Amino acid sequence: MRMLDLITKKRDGYALTKAEIEFIVHGYTQGNIPDYQMSSFLMATYFNGMTDQESTDLAIAMMHSGDTFNLDDIDGIKVDKHSTGGVGDKVTLVLGPLVAACGAKFAKMSGRGLGHTGGTLDKLESIPGYNIVLDEDAFKAQVNKIGISVIGQSKNITPADKKMYALRDVTGTVPSIPLIASSIMSKKLASGADAICLDVKVGNGAFMTDLEEAKKLAILMVQIGKLAGKSVKAILTNMDEPLGFAVGNTLEVIEAIETLKGQGPKDLESVVLEIGSYLLEDAGIASKQAAMDLLKSKLHNGEALNKLVELVKAQGGDASFILNPEKFVKASQILPLVAKEDGYIDSMVTIDIGLAAAFLGAGRETVDGIIDPAVGIVFKKKIGDYVRKGDVILEVHANQKGVQEAMQTLEKSIKIGQQKHEVVLIEGVIL
């Protein structure tokens, strides 16, 4: 088998076999296939696409390029969720404890934030002492014992995907739906869960800005999961404004705590309940409507919050911060951004809001960047809300870094108009 022949085959629009895809992934990971040939193959794939079976074979081949988690030792059906990345997305912090309180086994490996999107690990690490590093046996034992663990991904998860993504990033082949889908699903399949719900963000704060393209991605990822023997569903959620009110690590943890008390933003609660109901259904705990009712009861009776306390304690964190959020370190200054005219909040450039938070230190530009957990943004108004001149739209929680740049960016990112617009939160479901 020769790489040249496989490049030519894909260039001419033919489907590759499982063995051919495995040859490419293994050869490139081992350094036997040079970057220039892999670049050519990626570009041919970008233009000619892949069948669902090819995308599945690619995801599985990348999955087997490194460590995989076998979760068979965990009793019952293991559930997981994945978000394609957004601004203010603290769903895992609420969803995990909530579904675990309902009896599901929530076994999750999460990532860090980069660019304008926040990462679950960064948020969890803003809780003093929380340990994101557990070996596989400890991870499984904790899920068996309390129903939940959220840890960092193994450094050797899908090395083929890491190497291929770095090359895609510099060859103009990132926006290929088969390559995006295979990349995401290789990591989800490697994590070992039985049932997965994908939260595909769409809008000006998401990687997928077009609804139809986001639907194609969601459909393909669901199909890959099913062909790989998993139960997979996807929901498409709007990212034309941040999710909830808070953007920034500690601020989002505090908002998640409020949501677990039943006092959180309604948009965040709605997304959590939608995803949670599918996971409980797939875990065999309840039908979708009964699952929704069960989730609501646990969200409002304190059991979900207690499960977060259990999680934090189990992973070495100081759970007193969960019970007393005022203990979290606060930013040294809070700066209001006020409306300059009367009207309705018409639109937001969500990606710029995420970047503004990053300027303050809430995000990172490089993988090894340093996070300031205290800084960020808290919205007082969202799209559709009426404001009068001088009303506070948001508050910037800042220390010393990037204040002027963040304020200027935020001023440009929010538009006020004379007609009221509503945001459609859940754009669709792929079963």
Local structure of 90: helix, strand or coil: coil
**Per-residue tens of pLDDT for the chain, all 431 residues:** 999 999 999 999 999 999 999 999 999 999 999 999 999 999 999 999 999 999 999 999 999 999 999 999 999 999 999 999 899 999 999 999 999 999 999 999 987 766 667 789 999 999 999 999 999 999 999 999 999 999 998 778 999 999 999 999 899 998 899 999 999 999 999 999 999 999 999 999 998 999 999 999 999 999 999 999 999 999 999 999 999 999 999 999 999 999 999 999 999 999 999 999 999 999 999 999 999 999 999 999 999 999 999 999 999 999 999 999 999 999 999 999 999 999 999 999 999 999 999 999 998 776 667 899 999 999 999 999 999 999 999 999 999 899 999 999 999 999 999 999 988 999 999 98
C-alpha distances out from residue 330 to 11, 93, 171, 399, 411, Å = 55, 20, 42, 9, 23
Return the closest-CA partner of residue 7 out of 46, 53, 57: 46
Query: What would the two tokens of residue 196 be?
Result: 């997965």
How high is the pLDDT of residue 115? 63
pLDDT for position 385: 98
Active site residues: 82, 161, 168, 183, 187
Determine contact, residues 360/250, Cβ cutoff 8 Å. Answer: no
Domains defined along the chain, listed by start: 3-49 (1.20.970.10), 78-158+172-323 (3.40.1030.10), 330-417 (3.90.1170.30)
What residues are paired with 81 via a beta bridge?
A: 197
Q: Give residue-wise pLDDT tens across range 5-17.
A: 999 999 999 999 9
pLDDT at 114: 62
pLDDT of residue 367: 65
